[in-house]
Amino acid sequence: MDNRPIGVFDSGLGGLTAVKELEKLLPRESLVYFGDTGRVPYGTRSREAVRRYASQDMAFLMDHGVKAVLAACGTVSSTCADIGQELPVPYFDVIGPSAKAAAARTKNKKVGVIGTSATIHSDAYRQALLGLDYDLEVYSQPCPLFVPLVENAFVSPQDEVTRLVAQRYLGPLREAGVDTLILGCTHYPIISAIIGSVMGQGVALIDSGREAALALSRRLEQDGLLCGSDGPRESSFYVSDEPENFTSVAELFLGHSVQGRTERIDIEDA
């Protein structure tokens, strides 16, 4: 048994989709979440900048005594695949678990991937998928406007702006006939209703945050690192910009309030 918290980080709010899944899967566990809201989005940054940011994010979590780290960020996972290797605790990203889920789910072997520009240009998902099944056909599409739309709460299934953007981005994937679509950014499940309606009922959506959370929970159970306490979960949330917008949108992501549990920190000096 291990009562230390689980650490999760992302460039902003999107990683909260993974937090929500962890709360469902591991209701006894405490979490430490860092959202780098002052430097979002990572998807438009250079690889060097993303690597520096991720290193700072992980160091912050390690200073809080976490027992595992989840990079709930598609950009970090795809452009800095080796960055967690030196950590003294288990490290998880979103690429491998999502690729495995998609390869197992597809029936026609046509898999779509959407993500930030950095994630798509890294080709990490394509490589992971073809490493599992070389017969897969992988169709990738960058969707850079999805993150700012989500961060600014344009998330209603009826939102015309987000729907128009989704139709523009997803059209080539529909034409390609994919039957499985990886949501390669943890922001995207928040607008999965729009994405799903544009793609059509026959297309399975793979939630990268959920798949990573499942992989982490299995590893903690396997290694005997689950929390042994029956006491209340004590999760905390940190951001690098003013917390007001984060707390209001976080409730939409999580289904519960984080008011009073969110603190702003200077990640450069943390």
3-state secondary structure the chain: CCCCCEEEEECCCCCHHHHHHHHHHCCCCCEEEEECCCCCCHHHCCHHHHHHHHHHHHHHHHHCCCCCEEECCHHHHHHCCCCCCCCCCCEECCHHHHHHHHHHHCCCCEEEEEECHHHHHHCHHHHHHHHHCCCCEEEEEECCCHHHHHHCCCCCCCCHHHHHHHHHHHHHHHHHCCCEEEECCCCHHHHHHHHHHHHCCCCEEEEHHHHHHHHHHHHHHHCCCCCCCCCCCCCEEEECCCHHHHHHHHHHHHCCCCCCCEEECCCCCC
Q: Is 73 a catalytic residue?
A: yes
Choosing from 73, 80, 143, 227, the catalytic residue is 73
Q: How many CB atoms lie within 10 A of CB 193?
A: 17
Q: How many CB atoms lie within 10 A of CB 134?
A: 7
CA pair distance 83, 239, nearest whole angstrom:
21
Residues tagged active-site = 73, 185
